[in-house]
Amino acid sequence: MNKENNIDVSGNNILCDQWLNILDELNIGAFTVDNRRQVSSMNYSAQALIGLRDSESIGKDCREVFVGVPCLANCPFKGTGLPSTEEPVIQIQDEDQTTHLVTRMASPVFGPDHQVVGCITILQDHSPIADLIDRIHYKEQSLKIILDNLDVGIFTVDRGGRVTFFNTAAENISGFSRREILGESCSAIFGGKEAQEVCSMQDTIVNGQSRSSRQGKMMTRDGQPIPIRANYMALRNEKGTVVGGLTTFHDLTLVQQLKQAMRDRYTFHDMIGRSPAMQKIFEMVDVVAATDATILIEGDTGTGKDLLAKVIHSASLRSDKPFVKVNCAAIPDNLLESEMFGYVKGAFTGAERDKTGRFQEADGGTIFLDEIGDLPLALQAKLLRVLEDREFYRLGSRHTVKVNVRIISASNRNLETLVAKRLFREDLYYRLLVFRITLPELKDRRVDLPILIGHILRRLSAASASRLPEVSEKVMEILLNYHYPGNVRELENILEHALIICREDTLQPRHLPEYVKVRRTIRKPSVKKSFRPLQVSDNEERDKIISVLQQHNGHRAETAKALGMERTTLWRKIKKYGIFP
C-alpha cells in the first residue's frame, strides 16, 4: 500500500474514530477492522457489550476476538463491498454471561481508489429500551406481560427506526409475527420510508415531542392497508437522551365500517381484486360512474352485483341522493307494480292513502333493479316507458309522475337467452344494455383468494371484537382449491363458520364446514360459456324441488337450504315450473 493510500486510510480512521465517539454518546456499540482483518478501534459501548477491553482486541484478528459474534454472511472482505443486510438480530453474551438481543449492521470503509480498506460494525443493544419499558409505572416487572395482553397495538423502535418490541395485539392487527418484524425497519409496517407514519415516528425521536391521535394506515403482512389511530412518544434513558420511540395504535376497521354504513357510501376499496378481470372492471366503473348511463350488471349468484351497484352510485354525481334497491325476485308479482310505482288512495281495496313507489323514492338518485330477469312481462312494458320518458302512472292514477333517476339493473340469468325464449322483452333488453359489466365467478379469479380471505377475516374479527386468527397452510390449501358455487358470498359464510368454531390462534381444517373439505376439487369446464348450463333436465329439477318441498311441508327456507340454493333462486324456479302448494 503506497503512502497516499496510507494517508487516506489514516483519514478514514480519524473519521471512524469520530463516529465511534458519537455512537458512544447514544449507547451504541461500534468497532472497526482494517484490511488485514485486525481490529483497529472499538468504542466503550462495544467493549461493555462484548466484555473485552481495548488492550484485548486492538491489533488482533477479528475472527479470533469476536468468538461470540458470528461472522456476517456477506463480509466486506469476501468481495461484495456492500453493506450487510443479513441476520440483523443476533444474541451475544457479555462477561457476566448475560444474553443480549443485538441489532448488527456492517459497512465497508473505502480508500481513495475505491478499494475496501476496512470495515465498521455497529451493535445496537435492545436492552436499554427494554429496561426503559420495564421501569415505566414504578418499575413494574410484569409490564411486558401486561402490554402483551392489551387490545391496543404497541411497538418500540431504536433511534434508527428498527423495531425492538412488538406486542401480541400488534401481531394480530398487522399479521406480522414478532419474529419477522424485530430488527426490521418500522417502514415495513407503514408502507415505505416515505409514509407519513414513519415521518411522525422519526420527528418524535428527533425532537422528543409526543404526537397523539394521528389517523393513518398500516400495511398488513399481505400488503393490505388498514386504518389506524396512533400515538407516538420518545423513549429516554437515565441521562434523558432519546434512545428510541414507542407507538400505540388502534385498528379503526370497525369504526370505518360503521361510519360507512351510516352514510351508506361505498368506494372502490370495498371491492377487492388484483386479478386482470377485476382491474378491468375497476377501470370501466371509474369511467362510467361519472355519467348517467343505464348499466346492466351480469354475474352469477354471490359475485358482488349488489356491492358493485353501490360502488357505482357512490362514485357518481348522484352520490348525495338516494340509492334505492328493488329485488324483483323477492316481491310477489301482484305486489311488484305497487311497490315500484306506488298507488293512490282508493286504487284497490285496502288502499286507504297514497303510497310512494320505489322509483319516486329514488328521484334524483339511483334505483337498482336486482334480478331483473324475474320481472313479469306485463311490468316490463311499464318499465320500458320509464326508461324512455322518465315518467309513469301510479296504480289507480290518471296523472303521470316524472322522475329523474339513474337505472342500474342486475341479473344472474342470461337475459339474451331469456329474450330468445320470449321470457324477456327484446326492446327492454336493448334499453338496459347501454353499458354492460360482467362480474367473473370466484373460481375464475383465484389470484384474488388470499387477499379476499385476509380482508374478510379482518372485517369479521373486527365486527365480533375477536382476535384475528392466522390461517394454517392446510386451510389455505383447501380454500384455494374449493370451487365456490356461491362465489364471494359463500366464501364469507365459510370463514364466518370457521371463526365461530375456532377458539385458537390459528384456523385449522377442523374449523371449516364439512362440505368444503369433501368438495375441494376445482371444477374446470372444458368450454367457456357466458352462462352456466343446467346440470339436469327441467323435468328432473322440477320433480326434485317438489319432492324436497314435500319433505319440508312446503317450508321454502328449509327447502332452499336442503337444495343448496338461495331462497330467491328457489322462488324463481317455483314460478318457472309452475309449482303451487
**Residue positions counted in the chain:** 581
65's grid cell: 476476538
Least reliable range by pLDDT among 129-133, 280-284, 476-480: 129-133
pLDDT tens string 143-178: 566 566 666 788 888 888 888 888 888 888 888 888
Q: Please tell me whether residues 383 and 285 are part of one structural domain.
A: yes
Assign 126 a pLDDT band (cuts: 50, 70, 90): low
CA 57 to chain centre: 51
What distance in Å separates the CA atoms of residue 449 and residue 46, rounded to the nearest whole number? 49
Assign 141 a pLDDT band (cuts: 50, 70, 90): very low
Residue that wins the pLDDT comparison between 475 and 537 = 475
Residue that wins the pLDDT comparison between 387 and 527 = 387
Structural domain ending residue among the three candidates 417, 438, 459: 438
pLDDT at position 522 is: 41
The pLDDT of 229-255, averaged and rounded, is 81
CA 206-208-211 angle, 5° bins: 105
Mean pLDDT of the chain: 78
Assign 322 a pLDDT band (cuts: 50, 70, 90): very high
Residue 390 in any domain: the answer is yes
Give the rounded percent of residues in the chain with a pLDDT score beyond 90. 16
What residues contact residue 564 under an 8 Å CB cut-off, 6+ apart? Answer: 485
**Residues of the domain holding 136:** 129-251
Q: Please tell me whether residues 83 and 136 are part of one structural domain.
A: no
Q: What is the CATH number of the domain that holds 570?
A: 1.10.10
The secondary structure of residue 59, as a DSSP letter, is T
Between the alpha carbon of residue 196 and those of residues 193, 218, 562, the distances in Å are: 9, 11, 52
Assign 324 a pLDDT band (cuts: 50, 70, 90): very high
342 conformational bin, left if phi > 0, alpha if psi -120 to 50, beta if neither: left
DSSP string, 325-346: EEETTTS-HHHHHHHHHEE-TT
Q: List 393's β-bridge partners, or say none.
A: 400
pLDDT at position 326 is: 92
pLDDT at position 364 is: 93
Q: Please tell me whether residues 239 and 162 are part of one structural domain.
A: yes
Burial class (CB in 10 A: 0-12, 13-18, 19+), 377: exposed
Residue 533 in any domain: the answer is no
What distance in Å separates the CA atoms of residue 112 and residue 12, rounded to the nearest whole number? 10
What distance in Å separates the CA atoms of residue 521 and residue 256, rounded to the nearest whole number? 37
CA 271 to chain centre: 11
pLDDT at position 81 is: 42
What distance in Å separates the CA atoms of residue 294 and residue 428, rounded to the nearest whole number? 12
- Strands, E assignment, 15-98: 29-34, 39-42, 89-93
Q: Please tell me whether residues 219 and 325 are part of one structural domain.
A: no
Assign 91 a pLDDT band (cuts: 50, 70, 90): low
Assign 532 a pLDDT band (cuts: 50, 70, 90): very low
Residue 532 in any domain: the answer is no
Whether the CB-CB separation of 483 and 523 falls below 8 Å is answered with yes
The secondary structure of residue 61, as a DSSP letter, is B
Between the alpha carbon of residue 199 and those of residues 214, 243, 504, the distances in Å are: 12, 17, 36
Round to the nearest angstrom and report the end-to-end CA distance of the chain. 102
DSSP string, 385-423: HHHHHSEEEPBT-SSEEE---EEEEEESS-HHHHHHTTS
CA 159-162-166 angle, 5° bins: 115
Residue that wins the pLDDT comparison between 14 and 236 = 236
Q: What is the CATH number of the domain that holds 69?
A: 3.30.450.20
Whether the CB-CB separation of 251 and 463 falls below 8 Å is answered with no
pLDDT at position 508 is: 92
Assign 495 a pLDDT band (cuts: 50, 70, 90): very high
Least reliable range by pLDDT among 49-53, 220-224, 562-566: 49-53
pLDDT at position 244 is: 86
Q: Please tell me whether residues 230 and 314 are part of one structural domain.
A: no
What residues contact residue 402 under an 8 Å CB cut-off, 6+ apart? Answer: 390, 391
Whether the CB-CB separation of 405 and 326 falls below 8 Å is answered with no
Residue 527 in any domain: the answer is no
| 580 residue type, one letter | F
pLDDT at 526 over 50: no
Q: Please tell me whether residues 433 and 446 are part of one structural domain.
A: no
pLDDT at 21 over 60: yes
DSSP string, 513-546: -HHHHHS-SPP--SS--SSPPPSS-HHHHHHHHH
52's grid cell: 473485552
Assign 334 a pLDDT band (cuts: 50, 70, 90): confident
DSSP H or E segment with residue 297: strand 295-298
pLDDT at position 140 is: 42
Least reliable range by pLDDT among 212-221, 309-318, 512-521: 512-521
Q: Please tell me whether residues 378 and 284 are part of one structural domain.
A: yes
Q: Please tell me whether residues 270 and 155 are part of one structural domain.
A: no
Structural domain ending residue among the three candidates 421, 438, 455: 438
58's grid cell: 486492538
Whether the CB-CB separation of 495 and 512 falls below 8 Å is answered with no
pLDDT at 92 over 80: no
Block residue for cell numbers 473505502:
110
Q: Please tell me whether residues 170 and 304 are part of one structural domain.
A: no
What distance in Å separates the CA atoms of residue 229 and residue 215, rounded to the nearest whole number? 4
Q: List 366's β-bridge partners, or say none.
A: 323, 406
pLDDT at position 82 is: 42
Closest CA relative to residue 557, chosen from 565, 513, 516: 565
Q: What is the CATH number of the domain that holds 399?
A: 3.40.50.300
Residue 531 in any domain: the answer is no
pLDDT at position 581 is: 52
What distance in Å separates the CA atoms of residue 296 and residue 120, rounded to the nearest whole number? 66
Kindly compute the dihedral angle of the four CA atoms of residues 183, 189, 195, 198, in this order, to the nearest 10 degrees: -40
pLDDT at 354 over 80: yes
pTM for this predicted structure: 0.52
What distance in Å separates the CA atoms of residue 355 and residue 394, rounded to the nearest whole number? 9
pLDDT at 405 over 90: yes
Residue 526 in any domain: the answer is no
Q: What is the CATH number of the domain that holds 472?
A: 1.10.8.60
The secondary structure of residue 161, as a DSSP letter, is -
Structural domain ending residue among the three candidates 79, 102, 125: 125
pLDDT at 106 over 80: no
pLDDT at 435 over 90: yes
Q: Please tell me whether residues 167 and 118 are part of one structural domain.
A: no
Assign 212 a pLDDT band (cuts: 50, 70, 90): confident
Q: Please tell me whether residues 197 and 299 are part of one structural domain.
A: no
pLDDT at 137 over 60: no
What distance in Å separates the CA atoms of residue 183 and residue 165, rounded to the nearest whole number? 9
The secondary structure of residue 108, as a DSSP letter, is E
The secondary structure of residue 425, as a DSSP letter, is -
Assign 86 a pLDDT band (cuts: 50, 70, 90): very low
pLDDT at position 365 is: 94
Q: Please tell me whether residues 310 and 225 are part of one structural domain.
A: no
Helix H segments across 111-252? 127-139, 143-148, 168-174, 178-181, 196-207
Residue 528 in any domain: the answer is no
**How many domains does the chain fold into?**
5
Residue that wins the pLDDT comparison between 429 and 79 = 429
Whether the CB-CB separation of 484 and 443 falls below 8 Å is answered with yes
- The neighbour count for residue 506, using CB atoms within 10 Å, is 12
Residue 529 in any domain: the answer is no
